[in-house]
Structure 1
Amino acid sequence: MRKKLLHIICLASMILLFSCSGDVTDELPALTRAQLSINLLNNGDVDQQEEINSIRFIVFGSTPGGVRLDVNEHILLSTPETATDIDAQLLKVTSSNDILVVVIANEPQSLTSKLDGIASHWTLQDMLYDISDILNSDGQIISTTGMPMIGVVRGISIAPDETQKVEMVIERAVARVDVFLEAIDGGAVTGYTAGSTSVTLHNLSHDSYFVMGNVGNGTRDNADSSKNYGKVKENVPEIDLLTDTWTAATSDTWAYSSATGAKNRRLLCSFYTAERIFKSDYSDRLAVSMAYVPKGPSDVTGITEKVIETITKVDDKGSPTAQPFTEIRRNNVYQITARVGKIGIQILTVTVEDWGDRQDIDLDMDL
């Protein structure tokens, strides 16, 4: 069930401007023409590619009368392509001292009419979507839609006859939770049993703001809020919190091995969830239940609604810093590892795997 990862770089070879010519039939008097060339590149890992079915380019420019929509172009690809296979797209833009560019890949069909009618960058920022619209009955991304991905860059100043190059990162608009099972200790045996072993994730949510800025583009997490773009859901009502359960369809067991390359840790299941900030009282934080997990040849073990409250983040120097688990952020994979030994089951490590750079978070949770 684990989806392949991708860190997509959007290279905007931007922007070639030139004056209107009488030879051009669609003249725009008193406006400056420009070409916006967008190229998509991946990180070179063929196992981390996503297919792209559609791309939308939205450009807002600052004018004396205020911010106005300059470009809103939706391109459907005849066949799904990976980032490196998509030809550069050329867009006409006008000169401005404060341009905002939004790139959307694989937009949900439920949002297409709304995106077609966007006229204000404030309306775009406030747009909501339900991630269940992009999931099939098995909880996986619908292939005909693909993984929605978004990039935002702002503050671009373009004068007539100027050429610029802008690098953009586009990121997935969802988060994912992976649950792993690991055998530890000499001789420990674990695994899963068809129709019995189950994993339940509590306090999932599906509602999210659609468009969000990116740290890599300088449009998120700035102390100066005027440089940021986007919103994150807070104080999600209890009625909107969900549970989802995976039950093993096949059976497998494995024993701990110290041999080089031994696969003591294996993926059980994955869940997609929306980006949001948790409440301060822990009442809506993620929790995990596991049932009928084999612990040896004849015994089973499990846990019930273990809430993930406190995490210890390890910095680039290897120093741990304890902090609350405060949010689910898009474009992150939250990996929860349950370890089974001779005594019982423990969840000792939660790692946050960004679809770009990796960050490690350790969670001590004795069960």
Structure 2
Amino acid sequence: MRNKLLHIIYLTFTFFLFSCSNAIDELLPLTRAQLSIELKNDLDVDRQEEIKTIRFIVFNSVSGGVKLDVNKRVVLAAPGTATDITAQVLTVTPDNDIMVIVIVNEPHSLTSELDGITTLGALQNVDYNIAGILNSDGEIVSSTGMPMTGVIRGISVVSEETKTVEMVIERAVARVDIFLEATDGGAVTGYTNGSTSVTLHNFTRNSYFVMGNEANGTRDNVDPSKNYGKVMENVPTSDLLEETWTAGTTTTWAYSSASDAKNKRLLCSFYIGERIFKSDYSDRLAVSMTNVLKGPPSVTGIAGKVIETITKVDNSGTPTVQPFTEIRRNNVYQITARVGKIGIQIITISVEGWGEAQDIDLDMYL
């Protein structure tokens, strides 16, 4: 399975002594830490996003008596993928229970609220609507860039110690990709300008903004005290949305067994918010398709098919089918409508890494 992590951040803590400017305070030198931040470039372009702004929030004594130490937003003069930001240095207070939150490309609408954050509880409750960062074509607006967050805790550094901590940041949105595929000999499929359409039902745009990361040890722990963040659930029916893509061109293709054949092609994508579904399936994602070509001139489609299961691949590469219970950030949920000789059926939906599609095997047979 593709690695769905995004950027790796190196946090280097170097502690030193300095004196305050106040004459009285100069008698009591304080220990401070210089926090140097660097992004690692792993050369995987499918995992990189342009970084425009980066915010560092540091809390001390996280397990009890938590205190805000740093809240600083940096605007990068020359945005770029995996930008080297080693020059960004923060002064923080040494502690044996430090939490660092990194926020990249925060939506402009959240800057004022994030500037005022002083508690972990307030940060956890920040929510945003991803519609505000999408343009009229449904793509992430260039002025903001892809919002990303990372949370790591349990950092302990003492005076005269240098420590490097590795963490990841992940996208704060999910994506649904819809593909169309010709699957066997003689199969012909395609779409028609202004006629073929795909509708995604029961998705939401709202999500809590900052969430812990499994790779950083701040999400999915059996001990909930080690986790940070929360996910929207029990969303009112009035908040569920649907969006329709309509083909802007006409294209047809036939199945080919050639090794370089493009039997499977992307129709459309939708950005959606992280959310937990209700147990009764009433708010799970559903898909409708109309006027999909099946051996022209005939057409076929599907109406509001609810997706109930999902295929995941473990670290050994073994796929397993599980109930579809939630939408997670930094995941791509890929659905493929397959044109062959049997009727229409949704079997499962696969979770893939961000980037160009590889093995796409949600099956809607047409």
Structure 2 counterpart of 1:201? 200
Q: How big is the shift at 1:20? A: 1.1
The Cα offsets for residues 308-352 of structure 1, whole Å up to 9 and x where unpaired, read as 012344545565544210000000000101101244544455210
Other-structure match for 1:283: 282
Is contact 2:309-2:347 (8 Å) kept? no
**In 2 relative to 1, CA 348–183 (structure 1 residues): closer, same or farther, beyond 3 Å?**
farther
Greater alpha carbon shift after TM alignment, 284-293 vs 156-165: 156-165
Give the distance between the partners of 1:317 and 1:214, measured in 2 at CA.
21
Corresponding position of 1:42 = 41
> How far apart are the structure 1 equivalents of 2:295 and 2:301?
13
CA contact (8 A) 2:195 2:246 kept: yes
For 1:243 and 1:106, how far apart are their aligned partners in 2?
Answer: 26
Q: CA deviation at 1:126?
A: 1.2
1:189-338 alignment, distance < 5 Å: 189-316=188-315, 321-338=320-337
Matched, 1:15 2:6: no
Distance (Å, rounded) in 1 between the aligned partners of 2:351 and 2:103 = 24
Q: Quick one: distance in 2 between partners of 1:65 and 1:178? A: 43
Between the aligned partners of 1:340 and 1:185, the Cα distance in structure 2 is 8
- Structure 1 residues 72 and 314 mapped into 2: Cα distance closer, same or farther (>3 Å)? closer
Distance in 2, Cα, partners of 1:47 & 1:144: 20
Partner residue in 1 for 2:103:
104
What SS does the corresponding residue of 2:185 show, helix, strand or coil?
Answer: coil
What SS does structure 1 have at the residue aligned with 2:60?
A: strand
Which deviates more, 236-245 or 56-65?
Answer: 56-65
**1:187–1:285 CA distance, 2 compared to 1 (3 A):** same
Name which of structure 1's ranges 121-130 and 58-67 shifts more when overlaid on structure 2: 58-67
Q: Is the 8 A contact 1:15 1:34 kept in 2?
A: yes
Match of 1:66, as an amino acid? G
Please give the TM-score of this superposition, normalised by the length of structure 1: 0.91
Q: Secondary structure at the match of 2:186?
A: coil
TM-score by length of structure 2 reads 0.91
| Counterparts of residues 148-187 of structure 1 (less than 5 Å) | 148-187=147-186
Instruction: Provide the C-alpha distance between the structure 1 equivalents of 2:96 and 2:15, rounded to a whole number of angstroms.
Output: 14
Letter in 2 for 1:15: F
Q: Distance in 1 between matches of 2:103 and 2:21?
A: 33
| Counterpart Cα distance in 2 of 1:271 and 1:312 | 19
Structure 2: segments with no counterpart, 5+ residues = none
CA distance in 1, matches of 2:34, 2:99: 15
Taking every aligned residue pair, what percent have the same amino acid on both sides?
69
Say if 1:63 and 1:166 are closer, same or farther in 2 by CA, change over 3 A. closer
**In structure 2, C-alpha distance between the alignment counterparts of 1:117 and 1:168, rounded to whole Å:** 25
Distance 1:64 1:310 in 2: 38
Q: What's the C-alpha RMSD, in Å, of the aligned pairs?
A: 2.6
Gaps in structure 1 of 5+ consecutive residues: none
